[in-house]
Amino acid sequence: MIIDLNNIKSDPFQNKVFDICICGGGVAGITLAVNLSKQFNVALLEAGGFEYSEESQEVYKGRIIGREYYPLEETRMRFFGGSSNVWAGFCRPLDYYDFEPKKYVEYSGWPINRNDLDPYLEKAKSILDIPDDKEAPKDQFTHLLNKSADFKKIDFWFSKPTNFGEKFGNEITNAENILCCLNANVTDIILSEDLSRVKKIKVQNYAGKSYMLNVKTFILAAGGIENARIMLNCNRQIKEGLGNSTGLVGRFFAEHLHYAVGELILEDRFRNCNEIRTYAAPSERFMQKENILNLGLRIIRCNQNSSQYSFKMKIKNILCEWSPDLVESVFSSKCRYADQLMDRVVRIISEQAPNFSSAVLCDAEVDKFKMRRAALDWTLSPIDVRTIKNGVIHFGKTVASLGLGRLKVVQWLLSEDPKFPGIREDETGGNHHMCTTRMGTSPKNGVVDSNQKVFGIGNFYVAGSSVFSTGGHANPTFTIVQMSLRLADYLNKYN
Ligand SMILES: Cc1cc2nc3c(=O)[nH]c(=O)nc-3n(C[C@H](O)[C@H](O)[C@H](O)COP(=O)(O)OP(=O)(O)OC[C@H]3O[C@@H](n4cnc5c(N)ncnc54)[C@H](O)[C@@H]3O)c2cc1C
């Protein structure tokens, strides 16, 4: 059943105790509600309505106090379905290597590994409407690239992209065991007197009326920035906020760095290669050798007309015949020849190392529910820069040595101390908000344990990419769905 807390006359929660209460009706929250409702009665509390509203979205406003980032109210959606209302549908599971500790990266490694998520791969594909794999057509470019010891071709899958509100709206409306409340803002999480369990959840509608829910188990699934903001704001009983005894809530905020890093001119034999996109990633051996993180390269066809010019002609034109000024400007957007010469644009999506200084904090300014707004201090580490620089330059050397083509690396990346383009010049991030309530082996290195339970609070779980220990380079939603299915399985078995 779905009700709207803005239009309710009597208290819908009176005299009820919910087996499971979920805050957030986005990808994680909806996946959990649907997969827990066979066994439990579930309250699904969603801050927004069925549609976008300024009133709800405004609560997501915050301040950027570190590295430049998208406005916080534009990088996520606060209504039923969450950010799946606008996402692009790129999907890929994390790599086995992503879960392993690396000697050269502090805080690296997860308490679980890829094998723990593999059982949920097919179900996640079905939830995300990912079509069955078709055998990729044999192509010579990939064949040669895979001969390199340092890079390999990788695959992405594409969701429709599935809108979780639209896909599961009817099922939730008809589910006897789910009470989904729209316009229900979770504004406090109240613990038992001994602080060992969550006892009650406070929700408010937009008229400011509050209600209390009695809960047996609570799952916070409000998105990668909001999970931390809510835990830090709920500090009436514990000054530093919930699950924050070691000060890690909100810390380790990670994004995937997104940049155009080069332009590729293909050798003649690949001129008619029709693949619109090819994806490549470094081998584990290469990452270890270079002490760098994971990254993905998206090699995107940008110009079909370029095939009328031969490889030699393009290189010759760039290097010999034109004036130095023309050489300099040949790939700039102003140059009239640029479109005719380049075949592929290469974009990087790269991992960020766990970094305590990169954080979601609470600002002094409050929202309409008197909760302190998010302040994002996004910070990079030297290894993040090295990963992009070494990865791209070495990829250029690889394509040249394999006779695939020549990569013209963007100038800014070649400088001693690269200055990354700002948000008006390039994408810079993927709207992927990760690691702010990271999974760890103890409160010393994490906020939740290997079952996503908050350390020290018996019945409090967190879901979504805030529980990632590290982010890899794959877009996060596929892993969010896998982990939500795993959490549902765990609660169905042990709760
Ligand atoms: C433009 C864009 C493109 C993207 N493209 C991709 C892509 O191609 N591939 C990919 O993998 N990922 C992509 N993402 C990221 C993806 O959308 C998120 O990873 C995913 O939606 C996160 O799921 P979630 O359930 O954790 O959070 P969300 O989907 O954000 O859901 C959180 C829910 O919690 C609710 N909520 C928040 N606060 C409260 C509160 N106090 N009380 C009650 N409810 C609350 C919100 O209203 C929302 O419905 C993209 C994101 C954006 C914005």
- Domains of the chain in start order, with CATH, are 2-131+161-250+434-494 (3.50.50.60)
Local confidence band at 424 (pLDDT 50, 70, 90 cut-offs):
confident
CB of 296 closer than 8 Å to CB of 473? yes
What is the helix (H) or strand (E) element at residue 399, kind and residue range?
A: helix 382-401
Percent of the chain having pLDDT more than 70? 90
3-class DSSP assignment, residue 180 = strand
Q: Which residue has the higher pLDDT, 333 or 268?
A: 268
Sequence-ordered strand ranges (E) for 342-451: 344-350, 359-366, 372-377, 405-409
3-class DSSP assignment, residue 130 = coil
What number is the average pLDDT over the span 116-136?
92
Packed helices 27-36 and 477-494: angle between N→C axes, nearest 10 degrees: 30
Copy the structure tokens of residue 289.
């050798």
Strand-strand pairing, 157-158 and 295-301? unpaired
Question: How far is ligand 1, taken at its centre, from the CA of residue 382, in Å?
Answer: 29
What number is the average pLDDT over the span 337-356?
82
Atom 47 of ligand 1, nearest CA residue: 78
Q: Which of 52-61, 340-349, 406-415 has the lowest mean pLDDT?
A: 340-349
Copy the structure tokens of residue 56.
């709800």
CB of 213 closer than 8 Å to CB of 43? yes
At 334 the pLDDT is 43
233 lines ligand 1 (CB under 6 A): no
At 302 the pLDDT is 74
At 277 the pLDDT is 80
**Amino acid letter, residue 425:** E
At 308 the pLDDT is 59
Q: Tell me: the pLDDT tens digits for 71-125? A: 999 999 999 999 999 999 999 999 999 999 999 999 999 999 999 999 999 999 9
Per-residue pLDDT at 132 exceeds 50: yes
**Amino acid letter, residue 72:** L
At 43 the pLDDT is 98
Residue 137 to residue 326: CA distance in whole angstroms: 38
Distances in Å between the Cα of 139 and the Cα atoms of 113, 325, 354 are: 32, 37, 37
At 353 the pLDDT is 98
Question: How far is ligand 1, taken at its centre, from the CA of residue 72, in Å?
Answer: 12
| Residue appearing with tokens 């877009």 | 475
CB of 199 closer than 8 Å to CB of 190? yes
The residues, ordered by sequence, that sit 6+ positions from 168 with a Cβ below 8 Å of its Cβ are: 30, 34
At 268 the pLDDT is 83
Question: How far is ligand 1, taken at its centre, from the CA of residue 397, in Å?
Answer: 38
Question: How far is ligand 1, taken at its centre, from the CA of residue 336, in Å?
Answer: 40
49 lines ligand 1 (CB under 6 A): no
At 98 the pLDDT is 98
Local confidence band at 270 (pLDDT 50, 70, 90 cut-offs):
confident
Q: Could you tell me which residues are beta bridge partners of residue 372? A: 366
At 321 the pLDDT is 47
Residue 118 to residue 337: CA distance in whole angstroms: 48
Greatest distance between any 2 Cα atoms in the chain: 83
What number is the average pLDDT over the span 52-76?
97
25 lines ligand 1 (CB under 6 A): yes
What number is the average pLDDT over the span 284-309?
85
Residue 408 to residue 298: CA distance in whole angstroms: 15
Residue 89 to residue 353: CA distance in whole angstroms: 24
What number is the average pLDDT over the span 39-53?
98
Atom 37 of ligand 1, nearest CA residue: 222
What number is the average pLDDT over the span 10-31?
97
What count of other Cβ atoms lies within 10 Å of the Cβ of residue 344?
Answer: 27
What number is the average pLDDT over the span 210-230?
98
DSSP character string of 66-91: SS----TTTSS--STTGGGGT---EE
87 lines ligand 1 (CB under 6 A): yes
CA torsion angle for 384, 389, 392, 395 (degrees, to 10)? Answer: -110
Using the 8-state DSSP alphabet, how is residue 434 labeled?
B
What number is the average pLDDT over the span 283-287?
97
Q: Could you tell me which residues are beta bridge partners of residue 266? A: 405
What count of other Cβ atoms lies within 10 Å of the Cβ of residue 173?
Answer: 11
What number is the average pLDDT over the span 440-460?
98
Using the 8-state DSSP alphabet, how is residue 453 labeled?
B
Per-residue pLDDT at 335 exceeds 50: no
Local confidence band at 319 (pLDDT 50, 70, 90 cut-offs):
low
At 315 the pLDDT is 66
What number of CA atoms fall less than 13 Å from residue 58's CA on the CB side? Answer: 8
Strand-strand pairing, 372-377 and 185-191? unpaired
At 57 the pLDDT is 98
**Burial class of 148 by CB neighbour count within 10 A (0 to 12, 13 to 18, 19+):** buried
CB of 395 closer than 8 Å to CB of 38? no
Residue 454 to residue 448: CA distance in whole angstroms: 4
Q: Tell me: the pLDDT tens digits for 162-193? A: 999 999 999 999 999 999 999 999 999 999 99
CB of 73 closer than 8 Å to CB of 83? no
Per-residue pLDDT at 44 exceeds 50: yes
164 lines ligand 1 (CB under 6 A): no
Phi, psi angle pair for 378, to nearest 5°: -85, 125
Residue 456 to residue 249: CA distance in whole angstroms: 13
Question: How far is ligand 1, taken at its centre, from the CA of residue 70, in Å?
Answer: 15
At 427 the pLDDT is 86
Residue 262 to residue 131: CA distance in whole angstroms: 31
Is the bond preceding 161 in cis, omega lying within 30 degrees of 0? Answer: yes
Per-residue pLDDT at 340 exceeds 60: no
Question: How far is ligand 1, taken at its centre, from the CA of residue 62, in Å?
Answer: 16
Local confidence band at 435 (pLDDT 50, 70, 90 cut-offs):
very high
Residue 326 to residue 328: CA distance in whole angstroms: 5
**Average pLDDT of the chain to the nearest whole number:** 92
